[in-house]
Amino acid sequence: MADKSYVVPVALAVSLGINATLIGAGVAEGTSIPHWKSDNQMVEIPINLTHGTPGAVDITNLSIEYTYKATADFKAELQSHIPATGDGNVTIPFAVSADSAGKAKLSNLTIDFEPPNRAPELSDIPSVFTIDEGTINNEFLDLTVFFTDDRDLSSDLVYELDFQTHQTYVTCSIYNSVYLSVDATVDPDWNGEFQARVKATDSGGKSTLSNYFNITVVPVNDEPFIEDPISDVFLDEDGVNNNTVILNCTICPYFTDVEDDMLYFDVELDPGGSLGSIPVTATLIPKGHDQAVEVRATGDWNGLVVLRVHCDDDPAFEFGTNPYWDINVTVNPVNDPPVWKAIDDAHLDEDTILEDYITLTDFVTDVDSEVSDMKFATISDILIGVKV
Domain membership of residue 110 (yes or no) is: no
Q: In CATH, what number is assigned to the domain containing residue 243?
A: 2.60.40.10
Number of domains in the chain: 4
Domain membership of residue 105 (yes or no) is: no
What's the confidence (pLDDT) of residue 361? Answer: 74
Domain membership of residue 106 (yes or no) is: no
pLDDT at position 383 over 60: no
Q: How far apart are CA 105 and CA 115, in angstroms?
A: 28
Q: Which residues pair with 327 in a beta bridge?
A: 307
Stated pTM of the model? 0.52
Domain membership of residue 111 (yes or no) is: no
Mean pLDDT of the chain: 78
Domain membership of residue 48 (yes or no) is: yes
Among 202, 218, 234, identify where a domain stops: 218
Q: Are residues 292 and 352 in the same domain?
A: no
What's the confidence (pLDDT) of residue 10? Answer: 41
Domain membership of residue 277 (yes or no) is: yes
Q: CB atoms < 10 A from the CB of 358, how many?
A: 12
Range among 26-35, 294-303, 350-359 with highest mean pLDDT value: 294-303
Q: How far apart are CA 201 and CA 158, in angstroms?
A: 5
Q: Are residues 319 and 358 in the same domain?
A: no
pLDDT at position 253 over 90: no
> Which of the pair, 42 or 2, is modelled with greater confidence?
42
Domain membership of residue 115 (yes or no) is: no
Domain membership of residue 126 (yes or no) is: yes
Q: Cβ(228)–Cβ(323) under 8 Å?
A: no
**What values do phi and psi take at 156, rounded to 5?**
-95, -5
Q: In CATH, what number is assigned to the domain containing residue 170?
A: 2.60.40.60
What's the confidence (pLDDT) of residue 191? Answer: 94
Q: Are residues 233 and 295 in the same domain?
A: yes
pLDDT at position 14 over 50: no
Q: Are residues 170 and 82 in the same domain?
A: no
* Domain carrying residue 350: 336-388
What's the confidence (pLDDT) of residue 360? Answer: 72
